[in-house]
Structure 1
């Protein structure tokens, strides 16, 4: 199997359809989640919605480069999003997240093998492969947070329902 196809499959696994590494993925965790849970604030933790938007921000930024555009994303803006205020806004965001992720996966799969070791935009960002691997690893990191926050919210709701 080509390295680019393997990387695309690894990316799809964390966002859309896999269970091999974490036994879950973003789509599995978020698809049927009520928006009120997604925006629930637990102490100083980020919300589930904010973490998902954060990952989507990087997916979109890297996708833009793969489409021939500039690298326009910046870490300092990676948590700057409008608050989600309804189930329809949440569903719309999720549909964009899945669509953009699948589009990026296709672009990764179509990347010529020799491009993987080439500079990604600027030497300071490393290679295409490093950025794809970084996006996958970063996504796993935040997926773990989402799973834990979701468990905390569900546990707190269970306690309230028993009172």
Structure 2
């Protein structure tokens, strides 16, 4: 299996369908919660909705680069989630996340392995491999947060 295929598989595992590392994934954690739950604030923690938006923000930014565009995302805007005031709005955010995740993985699978050692946008960002690995690790980091915040929210409702 090529490096890019392996990376795409790892990416899909954390977002869409895997159980290997964390015994869960974003889709498992986010598919059974309401918009009221995901917008519930627990202390100073980010909301579940903010974390889902944050991850999609970075995925969409990398997709733009994969498709030949510029790196237009900025950390300062990565939590700028528009208000979610209905289940429909929450489901739209989820659908965008699932669609972007699959698009990211598909574009990654189409890349030649040699691309992994090329500079990603600018020398200061390192290689494509470093950025793709970083994206997967970033997703697992926030998956852990989502899992814990979700447990806190559900325990308050019991």
TM-score where L is the length of structure 1: 0.96
Q: CA RMSD in A?
A: 0.6
**Aligned-partner Cα distance in 1 for 2:31–2:145:** 16
The number of aligned residues is 158
**Aligned-partner Cα distance in 1 for 2:19–2:63:** 23
**Deviations along 1:46-82, whole A, 9 cap, x unmatched?**
0000000000000000011001110000111111121
- Partner in structure 2 of residue 115 of structure 1: 115
- Partner in structure 1 of residue 97 of structure 2: 97
- Partner in structure 2 of residue 78 of structure 1: 78
Per the TM alignment, residue 32 of structure 1 is displaced from its structure 2 partner at its CA by: 2.1
- Partner in structure 2 of residue 6 of structure 1: 6
**Aligned-partner Cα distance in 2 for 1:142–1:83:** 20
- Partner in structure 1 of residue 47 of structure 2: 47
- Partner in structure 1 of residue 29 of structure 2: 29
Runs of 5+ in structure 1 lacking a partner?
159-163
Give 4+ residue runs of structure 1 displaced > 6 Å after superposition: none
- Partner in structure 2 of residue 161 of structure 1: none
Alignment of structure 1 residues 141-152 onto 2, 5 Å: 141-152=141-152
- Partner in structure 2 of residue 106 of structure 1: 106
**Pair member with larger Rg:** 1
Higher mean displacement: 77-86 or 132-141: 77-86
**Aligned-partner Cα distance in 1 for 2:81–2:52:** 11
Per the TM alignment, residue 157 of structure 1 is displaced from its structure 2 partner at its CA by: 1.0
**Aligned-partner Cα distance in 2 for 1:6–1:106:** 12
TM-score where L is the length of structure 2: 0.99
Per the TM alignment, residue 86 of structure 1 is displaced from its structure 2 partner at its CA by: 0.4
Per the TM alignment, residue 83 of structure 1 is displaced from its structure 2 partner at its CA by: 1.4
